[in-house]
A and B are shown apart, each in its own frame.
Chain A
Amino acid sequence: MTISQTIFMEGVSKRYGDSYVVRDVDLSIAPGECVAIVGHNGAGKSTLVKMALGLITPTAGRIALLGENPAGRHAMAFRSRIGFLPENVAFSAAMTGREVLRFYARLKQVPLGGADRLLERVGLAAAARRRVGTYSKGMRQRLGLAQALLGEPRVLFLDEPTTGLDIESRQMFYDVMAELRDAGATLLLSSHALSDIEQADRIAIMKAGRMLACGALPELRRLADLPLRIRVHVVDGNAAREFTARRSVQWLDDLRFEMTCADDGKVEAIRSVSLLQGVRDIEVMPPTLVDLCDELTREAAE
């Protein structure tokens, strides 16, 4: 069981003094799976990643990475097949992008030609001979991604991977992620960005060190059971008053009102609205990830 999972955590806690940074977390990730950890700053995401990497040891619980203790003696053997992109990645400013990547390639004992190809892959070929100190935030992030990809990793830990990336770079990043997953790599990423999270098979929500929920996005939506909001824009406000009088709606201004409905009542609600005269537009807004987090957090507190 343990061996077949790429990442396996059981009852993992990390305590500094009296305060828990991570508390009693269970998480297992299968080969080829992509899991995103979501949570506010200080929720314990980065600490969880650091423990999975073996950089810090848990106060309690058990962690296995590729079937081994990540902080143990045998960990060195598979470290070269693990990619890590830390939050706010930094490099020595005096070195060029090419030198940085070749330095890391040497440490991972990867052929240096592979490092040059990766620079091209992340779109830094033109800036390869410039010092990292002159790079923009997005370029540093891409260089960070390139070093994580060295040596065809089987497991990737990506902490806030797309901060500072423009739309184009983001797309490049998602393409890389898709390639990795096709190659059977396992991904664990922590992020705030919805577009990152949509790439994941499962989402783990963390709050104050605890893992509140973990599942696919529709599953989490069902779990939270949050209402959808339907926003209706009409041509004539007065004509709609009769319709809205029978329902609990909230008028945003003279021509727009909002109503809520449960997830399974969505089709019925839209049908009834569409019968209304002079509807200009209907917007269906599913609960946002923030709503979802807050709701699951609230439920956990009760």
Chain B
Amino acid sequence: MNAIATIAGREIRDGLRNRWAIGAVLLMAGLALTLAFLGSAPTGVVGASPLEVTVVSLSSLTIFLVPLIALLLSHDAIVGERDRGTLLLLLSYPLSRWHVLFGKFLGHLSILTVATVLGYGAAGVALSFTAGEFDADSLGSFARLVGSSVLLGAVFVALGYLISATVRERATAAGLAIGIWLVLVLLYDMALLGLVVADQGRTISAAAFNWLLLLDPADIFRLINLAGLSRTSLFAGMAGLAEQMQFGRAVLLTALAAWVAVPLALAAFVFSRKEP
């Protein structure tokens, strides 16, 4: 445990030193604030809580930004240390490889958590000054947004480690990270949409479609946040989807957690078999 904490501590310190953490916080806060104020302007007409509108726009921001930050932090974690020559020395110390991996995971996740909480929190606080009190429902979906954003980040940190443990070259890791981001964040959705349109509901049932959504962590995240509340889902254009959703929130969260656990376990397995 001591070793894991030590590794995590070094990653956090490294993140602060490299201004990674501060950059992530500023980026998240800047974009969140912009979205919060731009997004809340027209809501008077619809009569929805400005916080819920913000949740919708921030969800879209999360889907693009959080995986990107997570992959930037994590894709270099192992291959970079191997390349710089620090890995060999580290592994000669009295700690096992899963200590190293899990310590890094905790460190990177801490950076990501702080960036998300501070960044989105800033938007929430700023909004409360202009829009007054929020009801419990809105606060609940905001808290859910922050929590699931961190979880989505954890998914991509784990995926980044899997890449980093597998490849031999840093450039390959960077390329694969971009590829994974493109596929899971953009292309999978497009392909699924195309498939549904082309199929016209003949072969793909609603149930099968829901299962297909579980194969992409970004879609699980969307379902958790956008289909969660009927009021929110109206804005998000997910109302139709929400009605047909067969999975409860617990199932969705479990699926997202599995998206963390499986790549992380795979990364640990690959790492343990590689020669430093």
Residues of A within 8 A of B (CB): 50, 53, 55-56, 76-77, 79-80, 82, 84, 86, 88-92, 94-95, 99, 103-104, 106-109, 144, 147
Contacts and interface: CB of A to CB of B under 8 A. Distances in A.
Q: Which of A53, A91, A95, A107 has the most CB of B within 10 A?
A: A107
A107 B103 CA distance: 12
A76 B91 CA distance: 11
B92 interface: yes
Given A55-B88, A80-B94, 6 more contacts: A55-B91, A79-B93, A92-B84, A108-B93, A108-B94, A144-B89
Contact of A90 (B14, B85, B94): B85
B14 A76 contact: no
A103 B10 CA distance: 8
Interface SS of B by simple majority: helix
A302 B88 CA distance: 37
Nearest to B16: A94
Q: Which of A50, A95, A106 has the most CB of B within 10 A?
A: A106
B86 to A, nearest CB: 5
A86 B13 contact: no
Contacts of A92: 10, 14, 84, 86
B7 to A, nearest CB: 8
Interface string B43-82: 0000000000000000000000000000000000000000
Given A90-B84, A90-B85, A92-B86, A107 B93 contact: yes
A95 B17 contact: yes
B84 to A, nearest CB: 5
Given A56-B275, A56-B276, A147-B89, A106 B94 contact: no
A55 B275 contact: yes
Contacts of A91: 86
Nearest to A150: B93
A107 B95 contact: yes
Given A55-B91, A55-B276, A108-B94, A94 B86 contact: no
B18 interface: yes
Nearest to A70: B92
A106 B276 CA distance: 22
A25 B82 CA distance: 27
Q: Which of A84, A94, A99 has the most CB of B within 10 A?
A: A94
A55 B86 contact: no
A99 B89 contact: no
A85 to B, nearest CB: 8
Contacts of B96: 76
A80 B3 CA distance: 12
Nearest to B15: A94
Nearest to A87: B85
A194 B18 CA distance: 41
B198 to A, nearest CB: 47
Given A56-B276, A89-B85, A106-B2, A94 B92 contact: no
Given A55-B88, A86-B85, A107-B6, A79 B94 contact: yes
A103 B88 CA distance: 15
Q: Which 6 A-B pairs have the closest CB atoms?
A: A79-B94, A94-B17, A90-B85, A84-B92, A106-B6, A107-B93
B92 A107 contact: no
Given A55-B275, A79-B93, A80-B94, A107 B3 contact: yes
A107 B85 CA distance: 18
Nearest to A56: B275
Nearest to B11: A92
Contact of B89 (A89, A106, A109): A89
A55 B90 CA distance: 10
Contacts of A84: 89, 92
B92 A79 contact: yes
